[in-house]
Structure 1
């Protein structure tokens, strides 16, 4: 602080000390005279310093700044300030901290502070759009650890009717208190899981919708008396797929007979060919026009989405028929499921049965408990003495204990080939376990059967969960594009009104069939993006309070990626000085203590 008369405080202090000293000296009682004079001097000086607080010069580095973002830790800030000499300037963005200047936007910050060359970022980091204004600044991240709560989560956007919705993720527990996660649908709890220990937990919650349509479920967490809604789970339930199935066996099998009747009751198109003797076949058809099944031809296979066969029947096919079946898989996307008992196949059937296996029993059959991904656990059932070994090359369809597989599939061109070592599932029907039987085969059929290929479709590219006032990247893929054409027109609207917002699409340079556009939602709820000739895509926009881990993770990744791509800059070593005022509380305390002593000493 600058004064018009710089020596005025010292003059006043001298006069105050002399006056109080003279008053203490003139008292007749000479006891404690030295203490009275000392207290008088302290009282006079501290009074003047209260009125005219002194200042000192603090060294600062104007080229270096510390930026505090949401989630910063005070201990990390203190440690960083101690390490950096001279001390840098401290700023905050969308958070609060004592003795720190707030930044409203980084464009204004760069205009007002052009000398800042290095920024140390604490907390969870900055969003991608904020970092774009710091291209000429060296960013050094000191990010906080992931906060308590949901660390990651995933669920399918679309499921078929009868399939279970699985919500899976990781939850970070930081307090020694039991937390329960609930999956709620239509106001009722459908599934829950309890987390008791501190640490990161993996969880899965499941629910099977009863009708097709669009639904919004909720995930809530309860810790003690506190209940929080973590976010919403939007899902679209499509009608159940009914693939056309061709069953081929080397002799009449109860397994295929029961399966044919079961699929027929569900209105699948089903054909069954069983070998009676060499060159003679028994054929049956359900829900379809009768056709010649005596030879496997391309025309025949075009009528089906899935072929279920057993190894002996595969071997009895002619080489031309096997080649036809193989081409239908690789070129047309047909699915082939081989159901094996004791014999899994040989070299002639390797394309369909070449899965790594091991024998677990010397008997013809063994007992196993089957599991599949929708959470169903079946009763013990007789299976082949072999088990399929899990690996990265195959996808497990039906599991058993010890990370082994009872059924597995792998991609082969456009289609899928699969192998099952469960030859007698009809025993579930004989035992009255109709739901288990139906769930098992629904899962296998949907996993292996030919999939409908979409030539044009919309999808949300990012983020995982669209949120209000945050950019949403919408992606249109059009495989029918042959030559350069006009950019497609696209609009987005909320299902709550009819106002349409146009979005500008940009064609990808490296993938000309892909177009992308950005949409900024202004309200929460279901939205739909539409374009001529393309099936509309419905997506749910949620509030920014939902799935907070998404924003934190996006800021962390953006900040770390931005810092990693920067070149190392050598900052100029400049030192500036800021005038800081000594806290007046110390002078006030000295004044109170000294005057208190003078008053008390006079009473003694």
Structure 2
């Protein structure tokens, strides 16, 4: 009870405390002639009680109270009626409130000691209304449909668009179809009856531009049950200047150089035939003499590919020049592995590997195709960035940052066998992702961090901007300026939020540099309903789990304590101090 007492004028405590001490010290000074006598100690104690009583009256003590109906139910979309009926039976006087986004949740009562939230939950922007309450979040069934999906929304001409996802509670026999422009069916998968089903659909991207593919679900009669947009930005292929150095000709390099040349890259291959003799090959480029590596002859290149033996046997001047080009110029380096590479620690950037028995693997994006590999796997570490993972989520190709550039390698072996087995697209996809991940990137004055380009109309769409411009101004298509917040630690990092009003493709641009823009696609709440419901459930679970741990005490209405008792006690104390001298007490 006592621990629940609070003061309505708690901000006055410092001033009243100082004043009370001063008044009491004055009274003690007044009683000093009687020091040492019993009267002195009685009088200063009674005076202290009187001053404390008066101070408490001024601070207005109050106690929290709860109304008669202190438990309520908040009904959100997708709630289970059986759960509602059970709560009403357990709590006869419980009240129910249908939830409406961005509206007050509690209309007729000020508070409650317990709140039951049923269904998918409240919108994140309404969490603040429940922060100070004891909340029991009771979820219903996870929505039926695509609850999770992932794909790379920014691709290059010739690469594959691969959409991977999880469908919850599918209907057996229904079809998921990846639909392109003009209603063309590009890929499909038949759903099976199960609790959850992982799926993957893909297609080749043949032309640059902004496209909106669709994921369609059809039942066994061909009726469309849902249609959800998949926006993709397809960019033109960037042609790199690539230097390949081999200690001896290999089949891996033979097929790789041909693929790179077909993709339009400028390729120079230098292979040692015998001691002191080299073979030079040029594709899409003029003849350039390459001797010992130096910063000068590395300057034109965006990517260097070395086999492991060449990387190991580089002389100190060549190694230093290569490291400087990577660190300072952003050069990319890919090391073609061999058996000794995984046991040697003499690489420019040391990768940490763990041994395993398997010499074959399947990539996540090509689960039906076996690829040869060395009996090693990358050990996941903080600086390691994965390019490819296998079906068990182990990293099989990766890179590390080294200054402005990157150093990369893989545990895959003899990838050219994919071509020999007729898996041309898989081979091209594999190497396209490695080359694009490691190759030198042009440094732009403005860059937008990668994130989802799918926004919802009238809902928040956050974005992140990196720029060397001191005070960037971001504007929308309608020339509305968006407020930005600068990161306190990273001076070139800015974040902002917009609320798109227009369906379809939208654009954000920086007023000081309108060349590099952020294009994103805006849809409405009728699409990806299962995913949005699942995401809301997960956000509510995380939020209310945290709130329930932090809220050990509930906030309730405060009612002032009747001060009449303090007044009576104060008058008794003052009366005693006034009457005692007159009665002649000693």
TM-score by length of 2: 0.71
Contact 2:504 2:523 survives alignment (8 Å): yes
Q: Identify which of 365, 370, 377 aligns with 1:389.
A: 377
Q: Determine the C-alpha separation between the residues in 1 that align with 2:140 and 2:393.
A: 36
1:201 maps onto 2:203 in alignment:
no
Aligned to 2:479: 500
Distance 1:460 1:261, change over 3 A: closer
- The answer as to whether partners of 2:248 and 2:273 remain within 8 angstroms in 1 is yes
Offset of 1:330 from its aligned partner?
4.7
1:528 corresponds to 2:507: yes
Give the structure 1 partner of residue 497 of structure 2.
Answer: 518
Establish whether residue 184 from structure 1 lines up as the match of residue 186 from structure 2: no
Q: Which has the larger radius of gyration?
A: 1
**Which of 366, 373, 394 matches 1:375?**
366
The change in CA–CA distance for 1:513 and 1:118 in structure 2 (over 3 A counts) is farther
Deviation per residue, 1:193-224 (Å, 9 max, x gap) = 22212201111111111111110011111234
Unaligned 5+ segments in structure 1 are 1-59, 95-103, 362-367, 494-498, 575-604
Deviation at 1:258, TM superposition (A): 5.1
Where 1:522 maps in the other structure, the secondary structure is coil
Q: Per the alignment, do residues 506 and 265 of structure 1 end up closer, same or farther by CA in structure 2, a change over 3 Å counting?
A: closer
* 3-state SS in 1 of match to 2:476: strand
**Contact kept in structure 1, 2:482 and 2:497, CA below 8 Å:** yes
CA shift, 1:230, in A, is: 4.1
Do residues 418 (structure 1) and 418 (structure 2) align? no
Question: What does the per-residue CA deviation read over 1:209-252, in whole Å, with 9 as the maximum and x for residues that have no partner?
Answer: 11111100111112344422241000001112322111112234
Q: What is the 5 A alignment of 1:202-217?
A: 202-217=198-213
Structure 2 CA distance, aligned partners of 1:118 and 1:433?
Answer: 60
Paired residue for 1:121, among 117, 121, 127?
Answer: 117
- Aligned counterpart for 1:77 among listed residues 76, 81, 84: 84
- Judged with a 3 Å threshold, the aligned counterparts in structure 2 of structure 1 residues 470 and 567 are, in CA distance, closer, same or farther, namely same
Q: Using the TM superposition, give the Cα deviation of residue 356 of structure 1 relative to its aligned residue in structure 2, in angstroms.
A: 2.9
Give the structure 1 partner of residue 398 of structure 2: 409
Relative to structure 1, the CA distance from residue 106 to residue 268 in structure 2 (aligned partners, 3 Å threshold; closer, same or farther) is: closer
Indicate the residue corresponding to 1:577 in structure 2: none
| TM-fit CA distance, 1:336 | 2.5
Q: Call closer, same or farther: CA 1:254–1:353 in 2, change over 3 Å.
A: farther
Give the 3 Å change call, closer, same or farther, for CA 409–136 of structure 1 in structure 2. Answer: closer
Residue 215 of structure 2 corresponds to: 219
Residue 137 to residue 511, structure 1, CA distance change in 2 (3 Å): farther
For 1:474 and 1:258, the matched residues in 2 are separated by 41
In structure 2, the residue matched to 1:149 is: 145
Q: CA separation in 2, counterparts of 1:473 and 1:401? A: 32
Query: In the alignment, which residue of structure 1 is the partner of 2:526?
Result: 545
Q: Which secondary structure state, in structure 1, belongs to the residue aligned with residue 455 of structure 2?
A: coil
Separation in 1 of the partners of 2:118 and 2:417? Answer: 62
Q: Distance in 1 between matches of 2:423 and 2:479?
A: 51
**For the residues of structure 2 that align with 1:426 and 1:152, how far apart are their CA atoms?**
34
Q: Indicate yes or no: 2:162 matched with 1:171.
A: no
Distance apart, 1:87 and its partner CA:
1.9
In the alignment, is the contact (CA less than 8 A) between 1:213 and 1:238 conserved in 2?
yes
**Residues 567 and 287 of structure 1: is their aligned pair in 2 closer, same or farther, counting only changes over 3 Å?**
same
Q: 1:450 aligned to 428, 434, 440, which one?
A: 440
Q: Aligned residue pairs: how many?
A: 481
2:548 equivalent to 1:555? no
* Cα shift at 1:458: 3.0
After superposition, the Cα gap between the structure-2 partners of 1:555 and 1:415, relative to the gap in structure 1 and judged at 3 Å, is same
Query: Does the 8 A contact of 1:156 with 1:165 survive in 2?
Result: yes
- Mapped to 2, the partners of 1:454 and 1:172 lie a distance apart of 42
SS state at 1:203 partner: strand
SS in 1 for 2:311: helix
**For residues 40-55 of structure 1, what are the structure 2 equivalents within 5 Å?**
none
Tell me how far 1:184 sits from its aligned partner: 0.7
State the Cα distance separating 1:332 from its structure 2 match: 4.0
- Equivalent residues of 1:220, 1:231 under 8 A apart: yes
1:50 is matched with none
Compared CA separation, residues 112 and 426, structure 1 to 2 (3 A): closer
1:68 aligns to 2:75 (yes or no): yes
Contact 2:149 2:165 in 1 (8 A): yes
- How far does the alpha carbon of each residue in 1:579-600 deviate from its partner, in whole angstroms, 9 at most, with x for none? xxxxxxxxxxxxxxxxxxxxxx
